[in-house]
Amino acid sequence: MTLQLAVLASGNGSNLQAILDRIADGALDAQVRLVLCNKPEARALARARAAGVAHLALAPADHPNRESFDAAMVAATREHGADTVVLAGYMRLLTPGFLAAFSGRVVNIHPALLPSFPGLRGAADAQDYGVTLAGCTVHFVDEQVDHGAVIVQAAVPVNAGEPLDDLKARIHAMEHRIYPQALQWLAEGRVRQEGRVVRVLPRLDGKAVAGIPDGPWLVWPPLEPGF
């Protein structure tokens, strides 16, 4: 199955770019039908334009409340034929009405190993706490912040005394790998959720699952060739 994606972003859109790149090289069975931003200056819009992808900026200030704004996003997403919503640095909470419109089809990536360090400062909070492993999480989205069931996580080492930007760069590098991988699992129909537990079914072709050969990283479930 080819996923029909709407990507919601508020800023740089580096995860959007990673998704576009994996689609272009044939590793991800998806089409980005719409890039939707709540900020007209978001670089994600320029990335969509460069890729020839439909893109739209909607201003929250033009709507009387969150429900009205999200209803406009639902309408735009449906108009462009998307069936799966990908949050890529989208810095607004989604309303219950939006989540109901795409029930079980909204995913997010967070720069921490959830349930630890939810919220806007995931990597910084992890560093401030003094952890030795930080990382990122792809999860389903529910009505609570960074709370939905976990699909895949990647851990990276935290080096004592290092600049926060260095840690963020390592985390981002893994985000760009595990997010497209999670979407490919969805495209292949291999993701099963039972309560809060998400299982990734084995590959139908029987090929062995490969880990990550480069670096002392931990990803579970393991990544597969091409990611």
**Chain segment 96-110, per-residue pLDDT in tens:** 999 999 999 999 999
pLDDT at 36 over 90: yes
46-62 pLDDT tens trace: 999 999 999 999 999 99
Does residue 161 come out as left (phi exceeding 0), alpha (psi in the -120 to 50 range) or beta?
Answer: left
20-35 pLDDT tens trace: 999 999 999 999 999 9
Q: pTM score, two decimals? A: 0.90
The CB-side HSE value for 63 (13 A sphere, CA atoms) comes to 13
Q: What tokens appear for 90 in the block?
A: 């989208």
Q: From the DSSP assignment, how many helices (H) and strands (E) are in the chain? A: 6, 10
Complete domains list, the chain, with CATH: 1-103 (3.40.50.170), 114-136+151-227 (3.40.50.170)
The single-letter code of the amino acid at 69 is: F
- pLDDT band at residue 225 under the 50/70/90 scheme: confident
Least confident of 2-6, 154-158, 206-210: 206-210
pLDDT at 71 over 80: yes
Give the 3-state secondary structure percentages of the chain, helix then strand then coil, rounded to 5: 35, 25, 45
CB count, 10 Å around CB of 37?
25
Q: What is the pLDDT of residue 210?
A: 47
CA–CA distance, 103 with 107 (Å, rounded to integer): 10
Mean pLDDT within 172-196: 95
CA–CA distance, 214 with 194 (Å, rounded to integer): 32
Mean pLDDT within 59-88: 97
The residues that are catalytic are 110
187-216 pLDDT tens trace: 999 999 999 999 999 877 655 454 444 444
